[in-house]
Structure 1
Amino acid sequence: MIRVITVVALFAAGSAHAIAPDKLYSMLAPSIWRVVASDSAGKAFSQGSAVVIGPETLLTNCHVLAKASSFVVRQGAVSVPAKLQYIDIERDMCQISAPTLKAPAVRLGDSDKVAVGQRIYTLGNPLGMELTLSDGLVSAIRKDDKQAIRYLQISAPISPGSSGGGLFDDDGALIGITSAGMDKGQNLNLAIPIGWQRELAERSRAALAVYASGARSAAGSAAGTQVAARPSTPPLRAPEVGQRPPPSAPAPATAAYAAIDDINKLLAVNPFARAAYEEFLTRPLPRAFALGVPRGWWSAWTTTPKNPADDPNPAVRVLTGCERFHNSPCVLYAVDNVVVYQPRQPRQRATPPTGTP
């Protein structure tokens, strides 16, 4: 009897901070806004979600803002112009500033303490349907080679437009930013950990410094000045005639699926990989990009991997890393400046033989 009472008491204590879903929604809804991105002509072409984390400050996914000339945050009839503050394309986390925005900030949680099986809630704008609340569980915690959290896998349903929305624990603390889903899976969705926000400002400044250094180097070279630094975005070039990959690399396809910078063709294969692929295009040669089946991506570059045990050839290393992370098959999409991916051709039914032998 004592043991039963103890268990019940512990269970009650563990649930003491949980907030009822209706109360949680009322508390968090004022802090979730819709992001609407527009082109240079002022025409809206994409939308996503954002979470208020401070005065006039929100977090979203960088891929929500890709190619945008301007963007606003909206909720109901209220629309506030916003601008980019910090950017981390590699992690797909961007911080934006919306002067005059009057909205409460959510409380930041600790994504390092997230556990598989804990209940979570998502709040965002799937397909433009403002302030949609969903619930589910943390299905898995996906880590990189250094055992750092890369993604929080969740069972709560999300859709296009949910990108940049909030992932909350049952106490209403923000533990992640909803980022991607797998269309062919059953509630297989991903969020990036909120812990990355602590490093966002520093990583953004470092990335912009590298970009500025590369731009100056390119300008100096054009003027005939000798510089040691290399531009951050290498010029696109066709492979030399007769050039062959290293023996351990998969052989490039004989017919190109797309030009290396044709983002639209990539999105036809994987609509969530825009930001990752644009970041891949800035990496130095040699490099490689892989796509998961049915969803996911991975990139690798240089012949000096972080893990000395990994293959130095990026075209080999990228497939190993992709399949290890996603725990599913991956295909090679691009090597250096050549798209090697080829869509699967539908199988043709064999025609039965006619006549007699």
Structure 2
Amino acid sequence: MKIVTTVQRLCFALGLAALVPCALALEIPGNPPAKDILDQQVTIGARSLVLPEGRWTYIAQAQWTTSQGPPPRSPVYAAYAMDVQNGRMRSGIVLEMPSRTTLGADWKAERCNSHNPQYSEDFGSTLALPECLQIFKRTGHLLGIQADFYAQAQQWVQAKSVRLPGPVYEVVYTKYAHNDYGRIRVFVPAQSMDNDEEMLAWAKQLPDALRSLMEKRDTSAKLPMLPPLPAEAVVDTTAVLPLASGAAPMIVPYTASGFAKVDDIDALPFKTETVRKIYRQWLDLPLPRAFAFSSEKVIATAGLDPADVTEPADPSDRALARCRRISKTPCQLYAVDNVVVWVKPADAPAP
């Protein structure tokens, strides 16, 4: 009787051990965002992508059905995972794949047709089975008015007060097979790379690393390791940097988006005279300063000593915090110090 009991206990323990990976695994169809990715893997259907080491969170999901192949159409999922370290975005990935094989699929309508990439390679692929690697350099990420999928990610970033990195590279690798496909977008802060050639060298690893996963010849693949943010880029800028004796306060600067010059009143995404007046007054304020807005409110801040000591010292963080307290819609920075940081969405009207 004692032997039977021991065996039963051992089987129960083994059963629990077998369940642990399942409890940790992030299966996109069954797990709505936001969730910490405890096992560094994102799974869609039978395929899993192993993420580089980091603090990854699953922050957005979209779903649709394939446009090719005979019915029933296969569900397609896109999932956004972001690596956040020291309160700043280190990198982000969007993985897109059908959850099951689409028999008899014809991908002729699914082209690698994004415009104006910095780099593009089609590997001599055919019209029916396209493959492409593209690199874009963006002036910002998750800024402005976003569509549904990226709006989810933007809302999570704002709710967690994640600091976005300014200019980013967007690397897109797409591979269509006879009955399956996959697409990945990787967002890498430009600060992480010494130059465009370093970004290209990293991106060129993706086809060999992921092609068999996208074609479903393998059910698991690992994304190549991403470079770390440089030390000055991972400082938590929600607080003023430490001061040397007698030194003036210093805050990590923002990068200009190129949308407009800071003193170009006519470029403001608001046309009311009241907003223009507030902005003119803000331009006369001393540095450091920040100007934030939502579709409802505008907030102008300056200085490192807020009257309310519970507010952030950094004017950028303080402007966003004040805006979020009084606005029901997302808040964004328009200008910081002497640069405009806002990026107007290409396909959306100004607020």
- TM-score interval, smaller chain: under 0.3
TM (norm. structure 1) is 0.26
TM-score, L = length of structure 2 = 0.27
